[in-house]
Every structure is written in structure tokens, then in C-alpha cells.
Amino acid sequence: MSLTDAATWAGHLGLGTSPTRPDGIAKVMGTFEFSSDLGGDGVLWGATLRSPHPHARIIRVDPSAAWQIDGVETVITADDVPGVMHYGLIDQDQPVFASDVVRYVGEPVAAVAADHPETCRRALEAIVVEYELLEPVLDPDEVIAGRAPAIHPAGNMLREQRVEHGDATATGAVVVEGTYDIGMQDQAFLGLEAALAIPDSGGGGVELHVATQWLHEDRGQIAACLGLPEEQVRLVLGGVGGAFGAREDISLQVHTCLLALRLGRPVRMHYTRAESFLGHVHRHPATIWMRHHATADGEIVKIEARFVFDGGAYSSTSSAVLLNAITHTQGPYRCPNAVVEGFAVRTNHLPCGAMRGFGVVQACYAHESQMDKLAAAAGLDPIEVRLRNAMRTGDVMITGQVMDSVAPVEECIRETVALPFPDEPVGGHDGDVMRLPGGAGRTADAQHVVRGIGYGVAMKNLMYSEGFDDYATARCRLVDGVATLKFATAEVGQGFVTLASQIARTVLGVDEVVLDRIDTGVGSAGSTSASRQTWMSGGAVQAACEAVRQRLFERLADEHGLDASTLAIDGRDVVETTGSFRMPVVDATSTGELDETAVYRHRATEELDERGQGNCHVAFAFVAHRAVVDVDVELGLVKVVQVATAQDIGRALNPLSVTGQIEGGIAQGLGLAVMEEIVQIDGVIRNASFTDYLLPTMLDMPPVVTTLIEQYEPLSPLGAKGVGEPPCISVTPAIAAAIRDAVRQAGRTHTIDRVPVRPIDIIGL
């Protein structure tokens, strides 16, 4: 079953209701067709040869032994790339295949196609690559200091950006500062990278079925590398098993197409779990220094900050991630003065790029840790210091941009505080070891368990920034009471396939909505990222449906001698608001198809100037979290007992889907707080498996208590804000703060300034 096979609903489930996902049952039953399930008779397998070194010069590549293996159909290297040799989302700096230098462990050097995955494996082992090892650059501070050699022709500095606002000399009666480290997190989607490339007969073009977040962006990069016009490269969305930003960048797309076009036969590729860690970008590890100046009453006077982001070997979206981080330095708080500098640099670590929260996760961990320090220094409760500084609509940000989104920061805080605490006793109920920190290990002693409480508050920009021409396209056809929608919006689990139908039912008064195949046969919808698709593709679907509705009204007006401006949709009928005309939509649309395509754009943004001033973002959403944790302070073990949250969502278009996003985001933020980190030593990843890269399971997830803050957002076409990213942002500092609270209650005085928090950090060794 594919994504759209099940996309027909019965019943009038419009906006504000919670119809279930069309692909939900199939995914639960195991019958859903993910990209890795694609195949067929005669399809060959592809595989990639990767560098074992973080930095080395390639002396020679000899594939002759691989060619001698029965079942091997072809071997390709950089010499076989017919078009542009590099790709990239913002800067095209990443080679399709390394040809002279490798810059990280896992960089592709060659690819093979064969009759079986095992044949591919043997072929990869047979390819001889001779390397001259080079000293890897692994310390971002050495790059910033100018002491590291350039590892790329474009240099090592990916972006340097300052923000200067207000009076740089301002000071406060209370001053607190800290340095915070955030580890590299993996998106850890369950569905691995997979694609099937089918060449046209005659080899003139190719159709690629792939799990991606942005079909049209992929197509542009693929076509350029293949040396083909874009119209000869067609992309179809394959079933996606999670994305979280990692599928924004090219991984196996070009390689699969190259192999298929070379052979004139379909080729599929499917990464292993270990290979997936090498094959996509990750969340940037970062070191952030912040100093807050405040009045004696705890009101922020000035923030000073320095951000250092390790972008890894290639640029991906590092420059945009850094922008997000530094422009969110103040968090959801008023701040009249700021001096901020930020660096994103190139090293020989794994490449980093988009991940849920996109730079704001790192900034939030720092500013929320600072807010707790400020509260302690000013003698205030952590909640009170946040309320005193809470941003409101109309406030000015440190970039000079006026906050004109609805900004219910105070409501988020107060509603979170008012949510009930868990009734579970400290250390869990008697006899249930799974309630203790450490779980089934039975290592925790209940006498050493201390309960801590912590808070986090965040704001997150929505959509793309800095003048990007951000738009989405949708098409609507209506006949015999059935609406058919087509868009290129990648469904990666966020639920747009459900929401799009709700929009059509609401605007057109129909019961039945059919979703056409999601592919590049219609204009771009942009990326499924930046919490943007409800706003952007939702706006496009609404506009297309409204255009169809207007055409319907005009046709009925001509046929029945009515004024089109007096017609409206009432339930399932077209009605005359000033007269007695009423006709079911299914009857009114029986005389011919209505077909409209619409493009939606948000308001324009602009790049920051050299002082970091400018209206660079479109809109914002807000959220607050409270975490309750039990900590064994002797062994450094943590059990998150409860997370409470109030989130600003604008308008709940599908309340069940919103709640699902909140719970999923909290799980990802919890992972960063206490367990998820890619460990690299000397540029080599040491935990590329789900055995050693620890993910929260259902046993780690606490009960989540949620309040939705609904205040209609007038900037949004549907009144709703994107909800995908905020849940994962401030929950991480809330959990870290709760751990600190427990450690403090145990009489320890050491600081905990990194995530994920490790047992050794809690013990204080």
C-alpha cells in the first residue's frame, strides 16, 4: 500500500477535527510500502564505497578486481559523473564522489551495481584505493584562531555573523555567565535511506522513487550532476520512515541514477544502519558562551554571547543553522542590548546540517541555563524571572525585527506551571524496578534517588528566512463532488496528507477527497522542514480550493441567474446567502471538471546587515516545558518522570495530530538531554548502531501533560502555526535543569553545562 492508495475518506471531517491518517493502519499492520520495499524483477542493487579516513589524499582508485566478480554490472567513480561534480543545498561544495581528497570518514569514493547485495559487498572490498593520510582538522577553535590548514578550496570558515543591538556598553547589577556544550545528535529515522531509479527507454532520462524532504530541490541537484535538463529527471516520493532534517541533503540520489543510466536498467540502493550514520547530516555540536546583565530585579539589560558550531566537512545548511542560533540568543525574552558573535566552521568530522529545531535547540539550551543562573543570582524563582522578562507581541528583538507574531509567552509559562504534577512517589512505586533510574538494571538504590524539577521556554522561527523565495504549489480538481488534490509536499510523518483533505472538505463542502501521487509533476512545495508545510502547502491547498470554489460559484451564477458574490458553502451545499437557492455540491459539480493551480508565498524577509540587523524571519511560535526527574545521585542515573508543556499553536487544525507532534518532539528532546550523542574520536564515529547510539524507547518516555494555547495567528493563511519543532527545543534544558535541581538538593555544588548529561556529569567527577 502506498501513501495515496488509502487517501480517500468518507464523512465530512474538516478543519478542527481529528481524522486519522490515511497511512496509519497500513504502517501499523506492516503493509505500507516504504522506499526500501521498492523493487521488481530485473532490478539491480547498488552500493557505495566510502573513505575509512577523516582526511586523506587519494593516490589512485583501481576497480579492476571488482569488475572480475560474477554478477558485477558496473563500477563508477568521479570520472563517470557527466555533469556538475558537486552538489549542496546552499553552497555546491560536496563532491558526488571524492576524486582528490577525502574529508570525512564515510565520504563516497565509488559505487557499484550488481545482481545481489552480497555481490556488491564483495565488489566494494575488491576495489583498491590508495590513500596518503593527512592530518585531520578536528578543533573548531583552531579554525577560528586561524591555526588550522584549509581542508577545502573554499576555506574552513562557513559563516561568521555578528549581532549588535542597542548599547554595547550597557551593564547590569547582576551578571551571570556560562559556557555550554551540546553534543552531535542523529536524526535516527527508522526508515533507512532508500531509492529506486528507473531509466527511460533509450536512456534519455530517469524516474527516481526516493524518500526525501524536498522533491524539486533534489531534482535540481540531481539533474545538474547528471548533465540532464530538469524535465528529464522525474522524482516520485517513496514511503518515508522519518526525516527530521536529515533527508534535506542529497545522499544516494545521484549515485542511484548514475548507475541506472549507465546500465539502462533499474537500480535500487538501500543503506545499512551503520552506513546511514555516515550518509546523512547531523545536528551541529556546539559550544556557546553567554553572559547576561540584569537589573537587581532580574530584568535583562544585555546579553553577550559567542557561538561556535562544528559544521563538519561540507557546508550543507550550516550558515542558516548558525543564523537561527544567533538570532534566537535572547530566547522568548525582552532584551534591549546585545553583542553576539557566531562562527560555523568546517572540520574533518561528519557533515552537519538540518535537524528538528535547526540551531535554536543549541541556543535554547544556553539561554535557558542562563535564566536559571540569573534567577539564582537575583534571588528569584526560575518561573518568576522568566515571567518578568517574557516577550510580548510588539517587542523588538535583538535583530531589530518587531515581534508581530502572536506571542503568548506568559500564557505558555503560566499554563505549564498550572498543569498537575505526577502522583508517582519519588523513586517510583514499591517493587517496580522499572520506575527507578536505571530500570531493569536494578542498580539504583531508592535511598539515593532525589526528585528534581526544571523549566524551559523557547521561541522558534517558522518557514525560511533571509530573503529566500519560499513558496508552495497545489492543484485542485473538482467534479461530481470529488476533490482531487495534487502537490509535491513530502509527507515525512508530519500529517499533511490528512490536513490537506481537511482543508478541501472545509472549503469545498465535499466528503470525498483523493490525493494524487506526490511527485514533481506539479510545482514545488518547498521542503518539509522549518515547521512550514501547514502554513505554506496548507496555504497553497486552501488557495487552489478557493479558486475552484470561485469558479463553481461563477458557473452556477451563469446557469441560474444568480450573483456569484452571494453564494457560499454551507455544509455540503452551495447556498445563496441573500436568497433561497440551495444545491448539494455533488450536484453542482456534475456538469464538468473545475481545475485550478495556486502558488502561496509568505511575506518577504531580508538578509541581516553587517551588524546583524534586519527582518530576517517570517514568524514565530512559542512553548514552555516543565520536567520532573528522579536522579540517583550516587550512580548518575536519571528517570524522567513527567513532562508538562503548553504550546502556542495558533489554531488546532487537527488536534490529535498536534498532540502527536508534541509527544514525538519531546521524545527527541529527551534523547538529547540524557542519552543521544554521536561519539567521534579522531574523526571516526564509535557508535554507529542502535545498540551503541542510545535512543529513548517507550520505557524511557514519561507521561506528557499538554495544554494547547490557541490564539489565531493573523499572519498565517489558516490561523495556525507550525508545531513540529517547538516541542523538542525547550524540553532539553528543562530536563537538564531538573537534573541540576536534584543534584543541588543532594548538596553537590558542581555545574552541569553539557547535553546529553552523562552519569559522570551528575556525579561530578
**Entry field: residues in the chain:** 765
Q: Over 80: is that where the pLDDT of 596 sits? A: yes
Instruction: Say if residue 351 is preceded by a cis peptide, omega within 30 of 0.
Output: no
User: φ, ψ for residue 384 (rounded to 5)?
Assistant: -65, -40
What is the gyration radius of the CA atoms in the chain, in angstroms? Answer: 27
C-alpha cell recorded at residue 363: 541556543
3-class SS of residue 274 = helix
DSSP state of 420: P
Residue 432's pLDDT band (cuts 50, 70, 90): confident
Q: Over 50: is that where the pLDDT of 7 sits? A: no
pLDDT tens for each residue of 663-673: 999 999 999 99
Please, is 152 exposed, middle or buried when counting C-beta atoms within 10 Å of its C-beta (0-12, 13-18, 19+)?
A: middle
Q: Are 762 and 636 in contact (CB under 8 A)?
A: yes
Nearest to 369 by CA among 360, 382, 379: 382
Distance CA 120, CA 406 (A): 55
Nearest to 506 by CA among 21, 19, 25: 19
C-alpha cell recorded at residue 247: 533527508
**What is residue 1's predicted lDDT score, i.e. its pLDDT?**
58
Distance CA 614, CA 400 (A): 6
**What is residue 263's predicted lDDT score, i.e. its pLDDT?**
97
pLDDT tens for each residue of 115-154: 999 999 999 999 999 999 999 999 999 999 999 999 999 9
Distance CA 481, CA 483 (A): 7
Q: Over 80: is that where the pLDDT of 429 sits? A: no
**What is residue 18's predicted lDDT score, i.e. its pLDDT?**
96
Q: Over 60: is that where the pLDDT of 5 sits? A: no
**What is residue 121's predicted lDDT score, i.e. its pLDDT?**
98
Q: Over 80: is that where the pLDDT of 366 sits? A: yes
CA angle, 167 then 173 then 179, to 5°? 80
Please, is 393 exposed, middle or buried when counting C-beta atoms within 10 Å of its C-beta (0-12, 13-18, 19+)?
A: middle
**What is residue 2's predicted lDDT score, i.e. its pLDDT?**
56
β pairing state of 704-709 and 637-648: parallel
DSSP state of 517: P
C-alpha cell recorded at residue 420: 498537575
State CA 760 to chain mean position distance: 30
Q: Over 50: is that where the pLDDT of 6 sits? A: no
**What is residue 9's predicted lDDT score, i.e. its pLDDT?**
46
Which are the contacts of 363, defined by CB distance < 8 A and separation ≥ 6?
A: 288, 307, 324, 325, 326, 328, 329, 331
Judged by average pLDDT, the poorest of 150-159, 426-435, 511-520, 661-670 is 426-435
State CA 183 to chain mean position distance: 17
Annotate 310-370 with three-state secondary structure.
Answer: ECCCCCCCHHHHHHHHHHCCCCCECCCEEEEEEEEECCCCCCECCCCCCCHHHHHHHHHHH
pLDDT tens for each residue of 530-583: 999 999 999 999 999 999 999 999 999 999 999 999 999 999 999 999 999 999
**What is residue 640's predicted lDDT score, i.e. its pLDDT?**
97
Average pLDDT over all residues of the chain: 96
